[in-house]
Chain A
Amino acid sequence: MNYKDYDIANFITDEFFIQWIKNPNENNSHFWEKWMEQHPEKRAMVNEAANLIRSVKYAYSPEFTDKMYVETFEQILKADNEQSSVKHSKPTPNSSSSKGSFLSFIPLRGIAASLLVLFCLWAQYEAFNYRPEPVEKAETSDQKIQPVWAKIHY
């Protein structure tokens, strides 16, 4: 059916027509304005259809307040940070390995430092005395637990 044969019920169910009323853009406006020029006899019907479309509203339309807007946004980003702190754990002593979290409980840095030195000495001793395979293992696990030691070690 051509638009010129449309009755009002056709207009109010036509997607392209509704889009022109609700979301006018260059394309649909261009078309409908040209069409209206060619069909002035349809002007009243088009106006009525447009009015009907615009008249349908939510009966209940509470406001999303600025407070809610800001609050929700902040909560979304906060959840993001909470998750990323678990997911991308930094190589600090109090994360990832049990050895690391154990270290975090020791109050004196000195004790931790001396333990590190002892461990490094032991690791070095291991490196010199064992076959290649276990050496590799010791080194990699060493690196995982505490990258700082690795630096000292090499």
Chain B
Amino acid sequence: MDIWSAFNRGDEFAFNYIYRMYVTVLFKYGCQMCKDQSHIQDCIQNIFIDLRRKRGSLSEVQSIKSYLFKILYRELISKSNKSKEEICKEPEKIQKNFSIEFSQETKIIHQENDREKFEKIQDAINKLTCRQRQAILLLYEEGMTYKEISVAMDLNEVKSARKVVYRALSTLKSLLQKK
């Protein structure tokens, strides 16, 4: 990525661009894991400070967004002294972290049939695990590719990201195919 190597060379315009493009989405993403907004703000600040200090020796990245998501994810895990699994496993957090709102425009749901289907989908989404919701949000809300999702979720293989998504959607499949 050109912007990233310019940033690595110390180009301030590249830094400004990266900050402008990603700081807001990073913040929103961070808020899915921790409700303390000022803590997220601090983490993001530290991430950028750290990246600026490492300029000149940063490794290449394929997707700046997913890389930033990954380091924020890692930062939040290390700050909370919880493992990757735990940040999603804590019982009281299961319903809170990465919660999904399934909101279709009301004008689309004109038929009773559609409304029923819509509610069923919403129910099915509510039953997904935290990791599944995380993957689904990265896929649809953030518009990431499977490769980017695997980076953001700190998974070793793209295959693993696909697996999480497929499993999440398998419960929705039967609902979707009903006319």
Bound form: Cα–Cα A95–B68 in Å: 37
Tally inter-chain residue pairs, CB-CB below 8 A: 98
Q: Which of A9, A15, A55 contacts B145 (CB 8 A)?
A: A15
Q: Please tell me which stretch of B19-27, B75-83, B86-94 contacts chain A, meaning at least 4 of its Cβ atoms lie within 8 angstroms of it.
A: B19-27
A1-60: which residues lie under 8 A (CB-CB) from chain B?
7-9, 12-13, 15, 18-19, 21-23, 51-60
A72 within 8 A of B: yes
Bound form: Cα–Cα A76–B32 in Å: 23
DSSP majority for the B interface?
helix
Asked whether A56 lies within 8 Å of B27 as measured between CB atoms, the reply is no
Which residues of A lie under 8 Å from residue B49 when comparing CB positions? 75-76, 79-80
A128 within 8 A of B: no
Bound form: Cα–Cα A19–B136 in Å: 14
Q: Which of A7, A21, A55 contacts B103 (CB 8 A)?
A: A55
Asked whether B23 lies within 8 Å of A64 as measured between CB atoms, the reply is yes
Give the contact-size bracket for chain B: 35 or more
A93-134: which residues lie under 8 A (CB-CB) from chain B?
none
Q: A64-B28, A72-B44, A76-B49 are in contact. Are A9 and B176 (CB under 8 A)?
A: yes
Q: A13-B165, A13-B169 are in contact. Are A58 and B141 (CB under 8 A)?
A: yes
Asked whether A62 lies within 8 Å of B101 as measured between CB atoms, the reply is no
Which residues of A lie under 8 Å from residue B160 when comparing CB positions? none
Asked whether A75 lies within 8 Å of B143 as measured between CB atoms, the reply is no
Q: A8-B177, A69-B23 are in contact. Are A58 and B137 (CB under 8 A)?
A: yes
Q: A9-B173, A13-B165, A83-B53 are in contact. Are A76 and B45 (CB under 8 A)?
A: yes
| A 69-84 to B, binary, CB cutoff 8 A, 1 in contact else 0 | 1011101100110010
A68 within 8 A of B: yes
Which residues of B lie under 8 Å from residue A80 when comparing CB positions? 49, 52-53
Asked whether B137 lies within 8 Å of A56 as measured between CB atoms, the reply is yes
Q: A15-B145, A57-B141, A58-B137 are in contact. Are A8 and B53 (CB under 8 A)?
A: no
Q: Which of A22, A23, A56 contacts B136 (CB 8 A)?
A: A56
Bound form: Cα–Cα A80–B176 in Å: 52
Asked whether A7 lies within 8 Å of B37 as measured between CB atoms, the reply is no
A89 within 8 A of B: no
Bound form: Cα–Cα A80–B104 in Å: 45
A61 within 8 A of B: yes
B103-160: which residues lie under 8 A (CB-CB) from chain A?
103-104, 108, 121, 125, 136-137, 139-143, 145-146
Which residues of B lie under 8 Å from residue A59 when comparing CB positions? 99-101
Asked whether A56 lies within 8 Å of B141 as measured between CB atoms, the reply is yes
Smallest Cβ-Cβ distance to A68: which chain B residue: B41
Asked whether B143 lies within 8 Å of A72 as measured between CB atoms, the reply is no
Bound form: Cα–Cα A8–B136 in Å: 16
Smallest Cβ-Cβ distance to A53: which chain B residue: B140
B166 within 8 A of A: yes
Smallest Cβ-Cβ distance to A56: which chain B residue: B140
- 3 shortest interchain CB distances as A-B pairs: A22-B143, A56-B140, A59-B99
Inter-chain pairs besides A13-B165, A58-B99, 6 sampled, C-beta below 8 Å: A7-B177, A9-B173, A15-B146, A56-B137, A64-B23, A64-B27
